[in-house]
Structure 1
Amino acid sequence: MKQESLIFGIRAIIEAITSGKTIDKLFIQGNLQGELAKELLQLAKQQKVTVNYVPIEKLNRLTRKNHQGAVAYTSPIDFYELENLVLQVIESGHTPLFLILDQLSDVRNFGAIIRTAECTGVHGIIIQKKGGAPVNADTIKTSAGAVFKIPICKVDHIKDALFYLQGSGIQVIAATEKAPDTIYEQDLMLPTAFIMGSEGKGVSNSILKLVDKQAKLPMYGEIGSLNVSVACGAFLYEAIRQRR
């Protein structure tokens, strides 16, 4: 299996991007100058790689090698194209079950969700390119290796993925405590995609306006919400219960 790899040096990172490697993190020295640096920044913009401008001390902590003001981490997995994956699932004859993560930031929650998703037969997990938890060593560990067994798609915007799924006949249900109905009142025999929100804010309001349905879990204690990975497991297993 591939591991998260550190690449240093401007030309080496340019070669990695042009060869199609997925760059998880790109750190650039704040005042970096020169034609080669401009080429790297232009390429990063074209490929929609997020650039983190940092002081040279940060780069020196990442590697003692001659980094030339640029350090990157490549992803340990290859990401799937959403359109191809959805078409593949529909053509297989299975009832689609997808998971969308809206700005989930904790890698341990991310890993736990990936593990549960693999165990429940989720066909793919959709994350946004910017702002979410990365697929790194911690993700791999907490997923118990499930990250290598389930397709993960990176999209520019969650909204675009939502519209594509809906256009493909897949209902999109957001998990939110603001919902009027529980998950147990939803028809999960239908092609379905669940949206789980971030740890602090939940599913963003702009996304909630676009989903087909909202659903919650009944709560009987004094604490008003569950850990997102626990809530996700409850949603997925209700889908399994209905589909058995």
Structure 2
Amino acid sequence: MKNDNQIFGIRAIIEAIQSGTVIDKVFIHKEAQGELMRELNKVIKAKNINYSYVPVEKLNRMTSMNHQGAVATISPIGFIDLEELIESTLAKKENPLFLILDQLSDARNFGAIIRTAECTGVDGIIIQKQGSAPVNGDTVKTSAGAVFNVPICKVDHIKDAIFHLQGSGIKTVAATEKTDNNIYDIDFSAPVAIIMGNEERGVNPSVLKIVDEKAKLPMYGTIESLNVSVACGAFLYEAVRQRL
């Protein structure tokens, strides 16, 4: 069965996936077993759908209905293919601005970033299928509806997306404190993709190895880092300033 943004019950989730419903994430009871549950696991892996194993208490908080050990969240938006996003954007403008979120985990941070991205003219947001924040009601609310205006692309691996962007002539710049380069010394006026990292870990070290440039924000206080949505806003508005 399903409501506006959830599907609960193993068979119902399997049928929804097979019918083409855009599933954002499947939450599975970590101790669940049985033939039907094995079939669900097989289907979500075959379709490369984001999933996680959780305690039954989380599922009980998500719905009071008989969930049978599985709850899926339905995405309120469709997602665009990476190649289509790049090609269509380059056909329209010479200096596109993309945003890559490397396993950002908080839906409200995600929504706040989408809102800023829309305001700064970002042409598309790229996220990884596994380990990324869901596009749910919190995302929609904190984005103030901007989630419906900015193309969002889900990819299997962030690194592959970076290689694809680089091959298309788009510079990649990672936001990280692990550099001596200041944000204000980076050229954001050319085609560029800005990469923001996870709230706790930052940008993955394997991603940092392949980007074109790394940049940090100057920090003068005693706290070592900004909230990722605030830091992202600073990077995006520096790009806007340079493009004015």
Secondary structure in structure 2 of the residue aligned to 1:113: helix
Alpha-carbon deviation of 1:54?
A: 4.5
- Counterpart of 1:125? 125
Secondary structure in structure 2 of the residue aligned to 1:103: coil
- Counterpart of 2:7? 7
Secondary structure in structure 1 of the residue aligned to 2:122: coil
- Counterpart of 1:37? 37
Match of 1:40, as an amino acid? Answer: L
- Counterpart of 1:20? 20
- Counterpart of 1:151? 151
Identity of aligned residues (%): 65
- Counterpart of 1:80? 80
Kindly report the root-mean-square deviation, in angstroms, between the aligned alpha carbons of the 2 structures: 1.9
Deviations 1:60-118 (A, max 9, x none): 44434443443211111111111101000001124110001112112221111110000
2: CA distance, partners of 1:64 / 1:213? 48
Change (3 A) 1:71 1:178: closer
- Counterpart of 2:48? 48
1: CA distance, partners of 2:151 / 2:127? 11
Q: How many residue pairs get matched?
A: 241
- Counterpart of 1:224? 224
Change (3 A) 1:65 1:209: same
Change (3 A) 1:61 1:187: closer
2: CA distance, partners of 1:51 / 1:219? 37
Match of 1:33, as an amino acid? Answer: G
Match of 1:224, as an amino acid? Answer: E
Match of 1:32, as an amino acid? Answer: Q
Alignment of 1:55-94 (within 5 A): 58-94=58-94
Match of 2:215, as an amino acid? Answer: A
- Counterpart of 2:141? 141
Q: Is the CA contact (8 Å cut-off) linking 2:50 and 2:131 kept in structure 1?
A: no
Match of 1:239, as an amino acid? Answer: A
Q: Return 5+ residue gaps in structure 2 as ranges.
A: none
In the superposition, the TM-score normalised over structure 1's length comes to 0.91
2: CA distance, partners of 1:55 / 1:228? 28
Change (3 A) 1:32 1:51: farther
Q: Is the CA contact (8 Å cut-off) linking 1:106 and 1:133 kept in structure 2?
A: yes
Alpha-carbon deviation of 1:186?
A: 1.4
Deviations 1:223-244 (A, max 9, x none): 2222211111111111111111
In the superposition, the TM-score normalised over structure 2's length comes to 0.91
Change (3 A) 1:215 1:62: closer
2: CA distance, partners of 1:10 / 1:118? 37
Alpha-carbon deviation of 1:57?
A: 5.4
Q: Return 5+ residue gaps in structure 1 as ranges.
A: none
Alpha-carbon deviation of 1:222?
A: 2.5
- Counterpart of 2:162? 162
Deviations 1:143-167 (A, max 9, x none): 1111111011111111011111001
